[in-house]
Chains A and B, each alone.
Chain A
Amino acid sequence: MWAPSEPIPRINTASGARGWRNRHGRYRLVGTVCGACEAVHFPARRICPSCRSADLAEKPLSRTGKVVCAAEDHSPLVGHGGRPVRPFAIIELDNGPSVLAELVDVRTVTPGQRVELVIRKWRRESNGLYEYGYKFRELP
């Protein structure tokens, strides 16, 4: 099988097992909602950071939201050598907390822009597997 000339990171990436455990968060923004104080968290927690309750239920957050503020990342991050500048934004989801995520297929980013979740490749894990996860693109 042909292997792309993508570098395999040696450090600072999640182990295969950790990547596997948090996949629902990466693919579908599955966070947790607290049964005691109703706070919504992302990424998923085991203990509620607001009220210390352990009564948490998993909940997929909204796939759409709007840009609160945006910035550009010029660092040559592993797996993105082909894209020298990557726009990032804090995105306020329609039904929950805000997430910091990369924007794709955009020319200009303005606060208030409506965006939707798309799954893209993040990087290769240290065990060589591809790690996929959420990014956002403009809604028409």
Chain B
Amino acid sequence: MTGLISAGVAVPATRIALADILRAWRNVPEQVVRRLGVGGRAVPGPDVDTITLAAEAAQRALTSRVDAVFLGTQTNPYATRSAAAIVADMLGLSPHVFVTDLQCADKSGTAALLSAIAWVSSGLGERALAIGADTLALHAAPGDPFEYTAGAGAAAFVVGAEDGAATVVRAASAATDTPDRYRLDGERHIRGTGSAMTATGVGLEQHVKLAFGRLGVAAEEVGHLAVSQPDAATPARIAKVLGVPGESTGAGLVADRIGDAGSASALLSLARVLDRAGSGDTVVLLSYGAGASSDAVLMRATGNAIGSGTDRELDRAISVDYPTAVRYERRYAGHERLTGTYE
């Protein structure tokens, strides 16, 4: 049996209200912004990046020795250097550890979790750490509608060969070439490819349906749906597309307070679900990555709360205004310059 043993999450405490971004730009009708269901999004501070978020979440998840670290992210500050190796050293793990970074757009996090599950199930090691972390806020163009929801966060799970808080039953995936959002090497900002590809949800709806369909679980049996959340309205929309009970998305809702956490989104949702799932509950983890691909994992909750403290992290909020967010996220590219100790 392979199961999820423990979990930890990290979300920037600084948040900005969507109303503040709207006041600065006035480029989207107010009711369109309100329809997203997102009150505020996370603002990564000037000293926060994907690696620090991943290290914080992993530190809180780590309760025992692990033999492998899988880090899924699409916003690694280094193009070539392994963020997973840096995080392993930050955690003080033995150097006899397998590390790798995974990049598969917004589903990098579940790709890392599935890799960890495969690693443990195959007997390559006893315990593996899977992390999903992203700072999308740094990669949203000023004035782009994506700026309203692009947030940041990280979630980490320890996977082991025991039941834990949830036992993995089955997994299924789907992938096709359906470009809806992308960022080229050397570019800072993530772009959409036009409303025909993004607003219609052609990639999202098709891929979650394909992946969920192969899980072999009846839609009405799903107790909790932990799903990628580009905004807070998407979980209900996906539930409708799949035909699962609408109330199954309630426990996993995180985007209403932090916005789109990218690769961490589905894993944050899963952590919140496993903090409160009852014994025998059917839990489905469902992710979507732009470009496009989807992972689905069917799990059975054992009733042992995973103790991730997700609510505590979500509640730890310090409001900042738009000018502060602009400084924190370095939205204006300044001159390239060398400086001394002081700026």
Contact = CB atoms under 8 A, between A and B. Distances in A.
B187 interface: yes
A28 B328 contact: no
Contact of B90 (A8, A9, A27): A27
A80 B89 contact: no
A78 B47 CA distance: 11
Given A4-B330, A5-B333, A121-B52, A83 B46 contact: yes
Given A24-B89, A83-B46, 9 more contacts: A9-B339, A9-B340, A27-B92, A28-B90, A75-B342, A78-B340, A107-B318, A119-B52, A121-B49
Interface string B57-89: 001000000000000000001110000001001
User: Across chains A and B, which 10 residue pairs bring their CB atoms closest together, nearest first?
Assistant: A1-B79, A82-B46, A105-B13, A2-B188, A82-B327, A120-B47, A10-B338, A5-B333, A121-B47, A7-B339
Interface of A: 1-2, 4-12, 23-24, 27-28, 60, 75-83, 104-105, 107, 118-122, 130, 132, 135, 137, 140
B23 interface: no
Nearest to B309: A140
Nearest to B335: A5
A82 B330 contact: yes
Contacts of B86: 132
B45 interface: yes
A24 B14 CA distance: 28
Given A83-B46, A105-B318, A8 B338 contact: yes
B339 A78 contact: yes
28 contacts: A1-B79, A1-B186, A5-B330, A7-B337, A7-B339, A7-B343, A8-B338, A9-B339, A9-B340, A10-B338, A24-B89, A77-B341, A78-B342, A79-B46, A80-B343, A81-B327, A81-B343, A82-B45, A82-B46, A82-B324, A83-B46, A83-B47, A83-B328, A104-B47, A105-B14, A119-B56, A130-B51, A132-B52
Given A24-B92, A60-B92, A80 B341 contact: no
Contacts of A107: 318
Q: Mostly helix, strand, loop or mixed at chain A's interface?
A: loop
A23 B51 CA distance: 15
A1 B47 contact: no
Contacts of B342: 75-78
Contact of A104 (B45, B338, B343): B45
Given A83-B46, A104-B47, A119-B56, A78 B186 contact: no
B185 interface: yes
Given A78-B342, A81-B343, A6 B330 contact: yes
Contacts of B177: none
A20 B339 CA distance: 22
A20 to B, nearest CB: 10
B138 interface: yes
Contact of B77 (A8, A80, A83, A130): A130
B336 A5 contact: yes
Contacts of A4: 77, 138, 330
Nearest to A84: B327
Contacts of B324: 82
Interface string B292-328: 0000000000000000000010001010000010011
Contacts of A9: 338-341
Nearest to A81: B343
Interface in B23-68: 45-49, 51-52, 55-56, 59
Nearest to A6: B330
B216 interface: no
Contacts of B138: 4
Contacts of A140: 312, 316
Contacts of A1: 78-79, 185-186
B92 A80 contact: no
Contacts of A132: 51-52, 55, 86, 90
